[in-house]
Amino acid sequence: MTTIDAAADRLMLVDGEDVEALAGERFSRESPAHDTVVATYPKGQPADVDRAVAAARRAFDSGPWPRLAGVERARVLNRTAELIRRDADELARTEALESGKPITQARGEVDGTADLWEYAATLARHSYGDAHSALGQQVLGLVLNEPVGVVAMITPWNFPLLIVSQKLPFALAVGCTAAIKPSNLTSGTTVHLAGLLREAGLPDGVVNVVTGSGGVGSALVSHPDVDMVSFTGSTEVGRIIAREAGALLKRTELELGGKNPQIICADADLDVAIDGAVYGALFNQGECCNAGSRLLVEASVVDEVVAEIAARSQRISIGDPLDPDTRIGAIASAEQLETIERMVASGQADGAKLVVGGERLTTDTGRFYAATVFAGVAPKMAIAHEEIFGPVVSVLPFESLDDAIAIANGTPFGLSAGIWTKDVDKAIRASRALRAGTIWVNSWLEGYPELPFGGVGASGVGRELGRQAIHAFTETKTVQLHSGWSSPWA
């Protein structure tokens, strides 16, 4: 294992200042691969949320940010993208150490993050409403899109920098302000990003970061001066946030869990499909809401596909996230490892065939789990319909495309789905019939800032990315201008 430097003592950012928690308490984060403390953070409490939200409220109600021209906001977002690229190595290393993901993957995510900020900058200059000039000679109607206000953002541990950047630059583009709670497992890159925004010229109070545990998130959701909540995380927590925010008639955007099916047809290029299936299921240790962890394989080729997936899974390098050759890193937390172990045991108890894996790897430090493949999985088994969030693949056979679509749609989730086939008719049928926010045809896990992302059902509410993203952060106002109006009673 790589030698780790001394732990960094980081601070929160509130109203443009680096600050400790008001109570003076701190917590530490150990690398899940190295069992070494890599950073400490202020342990925020509701009182810290109060001052962060107050700063965001002042910045929105009386500060310059919501009132700037779009081109001026775009300059700050573009400058932030430049700074992200400048600090790419440090950001990637922080992400790898805190989350356990491979460093090569983390570097790719940092580059993709900068791209998100650059794309959002274009939307800052293209956020506009509408005009209606056919309402009569004396009437002009204007439809204005105005920033929603203060947005609370609560982000997870699996893609901390990327996911906050699927929210924050789009909210900033239209003039919102924000109070952010990153996961207590992976706070480092969000705190770093806040510092880059300050360096880029963002006015004080526009973005505030409070580190800490779940109490910080609850305080954000219920705070009366927060106008909107944007959350990425588990469906279970998403339901709680939806209830709390609904009681306050507060807008929400929820990006939640997934149990995503990849349909492999017998007519597909099987070599490519298997490669995509393994990548889609095991990327980021399977700790990914978009993981293609359900493989629906046509019965005539299922034995061939299972054998090859098992062989390729065993060849993937698992180990030190800081090693450039590593493809599967460490499991982020002891709780997540327990979930994986419980779900694997459930699959075996239900009668699925464990082909490879199914065990924690023996290592001197850290938490690592073997790439695991189950065959003979039935749709009603827990491993076929519950999110595992680990490097576990479940293979389900199907006889016809209609059968596959029915199995694919047979869970409450609807985040993403895909099909591997050379038949364009099958691709079109599946794309129309699969209930999911994203459909991949002959690929998996590709993403572009220009294309919207989000789910249906238990996978969430709303969309991030694409030009649609800014709609979540705006309110629509109608203005009617009338020349020479007189009452109809006159």
Mean pLDDT of 288-305: 96
pLDDT at position 6, please?
72
Q: What are the backbone angles phi and psi of residue 290, rounded to the nearest 5°?
A: -95, 10
Whole-angstrom distance, CA of residue 304 vs CA of residue 308: 6
Mean pLDDT of 471-475: 96
pLDDT at position 487, please?
80
Mean pLDDT of 85-93: 98
Binned at pLDDT 50, 70 and 90, residue 90 comes out as: very high
b/e map 45-68, b = 16+ CB within 10 Å: bbebbbbbbbbbbbbbeebebbeb
Instruction: Express as a percent the part of the chain with pLDDT over 90.
Output: 96
Q: What are the backbone angles phi and psi of residue 24, rounded to the nearest 5°?
A: 80, 5
pLDDT at position 234, please?
95
pLDDT at position 1, please?
66
Angle among Cα 453, 457, 460 to the nearest 5 degrees reads: 45
Strand pairing category for 474-482 and 17-19: unpaired
pLDDT at position 241, please?
96
Check: CB of residue 295 under 8 Å from CB of residue 264.
yes
- 4-8, 36-40, 60-64, 204-208: range with lowest mean pLDDT: 4-8
Mean pLDDT of 61-88: 98
Closest among 411, 401, 402, 163 to 265, alpha carbons compared: 401
Closest among 262, 180, 272, 170 to 219, alpha carbons compared: 180
pLDDT at position 490, please?
66
Taking the CA of residue 311 as centre, how many other CA atoms within 13 Å lie in the half-sphere pointing to its CB? 9
pLDDT at position 83, please?
98
Whether residue 11 is predicted with pLDDT greater than 80 in this model: the reply is yes
Mean pLDDT of 110-135: 96
189-209 per-position pLDDT tens digit = 999 999 999 999 999 999 999
| CATH placement of domain 8-256+455-477 | 3.40.605.10
Chain mean pLDDT for the chain: 96
Whether residue 158 is predicted with pLDDT greater than 80 in this model: the reply is yes
Active site residues: 255, 289
pLDDT at position 443, please?
95
Strand pairing category for 207-209 and 228-232: unpaired
228-257 per-position pLDDT tens digit = 999 999 999 999 999 999 999 999 999 999
Whether residue 384 is predicted with pLDDT greater than 90 in this model: the reply is yes
Mean pLDDT of 46-63: 98
Binned at pLDDT 50, 70 and 90, residue 455 comes out as: very high
Whether residue 162 is predicted with pLDDT greater than 90 in this model: the reply is yes
As its CATH architecture, domain 261-441 has 3-Layer(aba) Sandwich (3.40)
Query: Where in the chain are the domains?
Result: 8-256+455-477, 261-441
Mean pLDDT of 142-154: 97
Closest among 54, 56, 75, 62 to 173, alpha carbons compared: 75
| Helix, strand, or coil (residue 216) | helix
Mean pLDDT of 14-19: 97
Whether residue 484 is predicted with pLDDT greater than 90 in this model: the reply is no
